[in-house]
Amino acid sequence: MTTALADSWVIARRGLVHMRRLPEALVDATIQPIMFVLLFAYVFGGAIHPPGGGSYKEFLMGGIFAQTLTFGIFGVALALANDRKNGAIDRFHSLPISRAAVLAGHALANLMRSMLPIGLMSIAGLIVGWRIHSSVGNAVAAYALMIGFVFALIWIGVLLASLVRTPEAVQGVAFIFIFPLTFVASTFVPTQSLPSVLRTIAEWNPITSVANALRHLFGNPGGTLPDHGPWSLQHPVAYSVLWIAGILLVCAPLAVGAYQRSIRS
Amino acid sequence: MASSHAIEAVGLTKRYGTKTALDRFDLDVARGSVCALLGPNGAGKTTAVRLLTTLAEPNEGTGTVAGHDIRTDPVGVRRSIGLAAQDATVDDLLTGRENLVMIGELHHLGRKPSRSRAGELLDRFSLTDAADVLVRDYSGGMRRRLDLAATLVADPEVLFLDEPTTGLDPRGRNELWDVLDGLVSGGSTILLTTQYLEEADRLADDIVVIDHGRQIARGDARSLKRQLGGDQLHVVCAQDSDVDRVAQILQEVAGVAPTVDRAARSATVTTEGGAGAVAVLAGRLDSAGVAVEDLGLRQPTLDDVFLSLTGAPPVDEEPEEEAA
């Protein structure tokens, strides 16, 4: 057990060194969220009015946090797909280490990687005028929710990498499925403004739920819980936690299984 | 379990979908010896290595490596082996030293011993100057040397080298052969795969020729060549019109009909006469007044071995893919 942890840490450290030495692979975790904060705050800021009033810049932050963390799926998926492509997975598996260590190492490195966008977005938000209006306890809960969400998404990334296998295919899935999914949500606009089918999808989309939960916990515009409407909108924190638990219970074992099958052939 | 064999395999079979990559493959490699698996792309060489290094599970058959069963004791196998896979799987974004230290730590040598072991190996493979350079800036030959160094970190009993010189230029290949000579004289047991008879000849005690997942011949280089009837006399004429005369002279010297390639203006015949045959042939051609572009004694190539063993030249099949 101790050696399995030590092995995971060796592989996690390697992942962190990779990130430092290939900064262009960090664009989605650094420049992109900052750019989105600035673009949406200043380009759309005047045109969109959050439900219940308040500043759009403050409404925006919960959405951009949720979207950027969702893109984190690709950090781990790409790292695994690249390791498979260049043979690193084979080399690791020819060594006398626990096979779980490779996955655990990647998961750990990507969990640590996600601290970067969370920190940078918070700073960018504070600069454009976002503030936390709630209690310290709620703010801590908001950041804990983000970390839990990232941890769950990492296993979706592992599953994705085991199913599609090549870095190119990972990029393809990113663009075709995940990118739109982050927009059919309350990320940038309130769900009320969406047409019927999209609106229903958005209302039950976990990205909406995480965005609204963060708005609620930070005391930002759009965070007031409605008295009627779908259960997911009335209880965004509980609904987000359910998603996180569901992904961990269902996706994580599937992901580990798919990964094991993909390497033992 | 004491065995005189470092590697033993009986009836190893691996199927990917409908394709049988390895078909009831038997192998035994004595301790301290070097065995070459020789065959074209897709013959099953890499599959055999993947099964024996526990990267894949056989559908049928059994095997032991350094006394550990590949099916029931894969961790024991992994503790005893070093694997250099086909594409030099060293980490581009780490330095040479970091690569070796990481492998040492994953072999549970501890951080300090890993560092000193890395230093030793970098020195031994003439990589000390490049030790702290990122591997992405290494030449192909340097990557291969680092890859070999990485397989040696834990001082393994058995080394698996999958096409160790593929993709290297002739100079890089020669350098790597020198390195491998050193390993061989150090007494390691080595299983290497190659597409080149010359390489198998140079490095291995024992050559296993493999095609369509099956062993089709086995022996040292001399006995394989003896099956072919020796070296080859090869003549390239300066003029098209001389090819027939040269072919006739070759037949007289060697006693058998040569293979003629008119497009290349060349004629080739197998001989056991060695250098003497070259001298006789040169004299005959000179007195016949034939202008010759090239004349010499060639070792048979893998193509020739295959031609003689199977009656057909080797066919490169699809590279061995992992099953979906």
DSSP structure string for A169-197: HHHHHIIIIIHHHHHSSTTTS-GGGS-HH
B150 and A91 within 8 Å at the Cβ level: the answer is yes
Burial class from Cβ neighbours inside 10 Å (0-12, 13-18, 19+) for residue B108 reads middle
Q: How many other β-carbons are positioned within 10 Å of the β-carbon of residue B133?
A: 14
Alpha carbon A156 to its chain's center: 10
pLDDT at B322 over 60: no
Residue among A14, A21, A88 whose CB faces B89 most closely:
A88
Q: Which residue of A has its CA nearest to B156?
A: A95
What is the pLDDT at residue B320? 45
Contacts of A21 in chain B (CB under 8 A): 93, 134
Residue reference for tokens 């209006």: A133
Residue B322, chain A, CB below 8 Å: the answer is yes
Does residue A25 contact residue A19 with C-beta atoms inside 8 Å? yes
Which residue of chain B comes nearest to A97, CA vs CA?
B106
Summary mean pLDDT of chain B: 87
The residue among A95, A87, A92, A114 whose CA lies nearest residue A103 is: A92
Provide mean pLDDT across the span B248-271. 86
Joined together, the tokens standing for residue A260 give 């094991």
The average pLDDT across B126-153 equals: 93
In angstroms, what separates the C-alpha of B156 from chain A's closest C-alpha?
11
Distance (Å, whole) CA A241 – CA B57: 40
Residue B318 has a pLDDT of: 52
Percentage of chain A with pLDDT > 90?
58
Are the CB atoms for B88 and B37 separated by under 8 Å?
A: no
Q: Nearest residue on chain A to B108, judged by CA atoms?
A: A3
Residue A219: CB partners within 8 Å, gap ≥ 6?
A132, A133, A134, A138
**What one-letter code names the amino acid at B204?**
A
Nearest to B55 among A14, A22, A90 (CB): A90
Specify the pLDDT at position A203. Answer: 92
Instruction: Rank A23-27, A151-155, B273-277 by mean pLDDT and report only the highest.
Output: A151-155
Q: What is the pLDDT of residue B314?
A: 67
In this prediction, residues A234-243 reach a mean pLDDT of: 95
The pLDDT, as a whole number, for residue B323 is 38
Cβ neighbors of B129 (< 8 A, separation 6 or more) are none
Beta-bridge partner residues of A2: none
Q: Which of A240-244, B272-276, B310-314 has the lowest mean pLDDT?
A: B310-314
Q: Which two tokens mark B80?
A: 């005893």
**Residue B260: pLDDT above 70?**
yes
Query: In whole angstroms, what is the distance from residue A104 CA to residue A102 CA?
Result: 6
Tell me the shortest Cα–Cα distance from B59 to chain A, in angstroms.
Answer: 10
Residues B35, B82, B38, CA angle at the centre, nearest 5°?
A: 25
Between chains, do B102 and A10 touch, taking CB under 8 Å as contact?
yes
- What does the buried/exposed string (b/e) look like for B3-18 if buried means 16 or more CB atoms within 10 Å of the residue's CB? eebbbbbeebbbbbee
In eight-state DSSP terms, residue B95 is B
The alpha-carbon gap from B275 to the nearest alpha carbon of chain A, in Å, equals: 46
Q: Is residue B313's pLDDT more than 70?
A: no
Sheet holding B266-271, edge to edge: B259-261, B266-271, B231-237, B292-298
Minimal Cβ distance to A87: which of B79, B85, B134: B85
A chain contacts of residue B68, beta-carbon cutoff 8 Å: none
Question: Which residue among B86, B94, B107 sits closest to A96, beta carbon to beta carbon?
Answer: B107
b/e per residue B50-69 (b: at least 16 CB within 10 A): bbbbbbbebeebebbbbbbb
- The answer to whether A11 and A106 have CB atoms below 8 angstroms apart is yes
Q: Which of B153, B64, B151 is nearest to B109 (CA)?
A: B153
CB contact under 8 A, B83 and A94: yes
Torsion on CA atoms B166, B167, B169, B175, rounded to nearest 10: -50
Which tops the pLDDT comparison, A149 or A33?
A149
Residue of A11, A90, A163 to mutate, testing the B interface (most B Cβ within 10 Å of its Cβ)? A90
Instruction: Give the residue among B142, B98, B136 at the shortest CA–CA distance from A22.
Output: B136
Q: What is the pLDDT of residues B41-94, one digit of tens each?
A: 888 999 999 999 999 999 999 999 999 999 999 999 999 999 998 877 899 999
Contacts of B108 in chain A (CB under 8 A): 3, 6, 96
Distance, CA of B290 to chain centre: 39
Lowest-confidence range among A38-42, A73-77, B111-115, B185-189?
B185-189
B78 vs A17: CB contact, 8 Å cut-off?
Answer: no
Q: How many CB atoms lie within 10 A of CB A180?
A: 10
CB contact under 8 A, B106 and A18: no
Mutate to test the interface with A, among B75, B102, B132 (most CBs of A within 10 A): B102
Cα(A94)–Cα(A197) distance, integer angstroms: 50
Q: Which chain A residue lies closest to B54 (C-alpha atoms)?
A: A94
Read off the pLDDT of each residue in B226-246 and give the average, rounded to a whole number: 82
Left, alpha or beta for B167 (phi > 0: left; psi -120 to 50: alpha)? left
**Alpha carbon distances (Å) from A118 to A112, A124, A143, A248, B88:** 10, 10, 8, 21, 37
Is B54–A6 a contact, with Cβ atoms under 8 angstroms apart? no
Query: Among all chains, which residue has been given the structure tokens 């080797």?
Result: B314
CA-nearest residue to A93 within chain B is B55
What whole-number distance in Å separates Cα of residue B242 and Cα of residue B12? 52
Mutation target to probe the B interface, by most B beta carbons within 10 A, among A9, A11, A18, A94 is A94
The pLDDT assigned to B137 comes to 95
| Structural tokens at position A79 | 């790292």
Tell me the shortest Cα–Cα distance from A114 to chain B, in angstroms. 20
The rounded distance, in Å, linking the Cα atoms of A36 and A51 is: 21
Q: Quick check: B232 contacting A, CB < 8 Å?
A: no
* Position B182 pLDDT exceeds 90: no
CB distance A94–B94 less than 8 Å?
no
Residues B92, A86: C-beta atoms closer than 8 Å: yes
**pLDDT, tens digit, for every residue of B232-241?**
888 998 888 8
Residue A41 has pLDDT above 80, yes or no: yes
CB nearest B56 (choices: A3, A14, A265): A265
How far apart, in Å, are the Cα atoms of B310 and each of A129, B42, B76? 78, 16, 38
Pairing between strand B189-194 and B206-211? unpaired
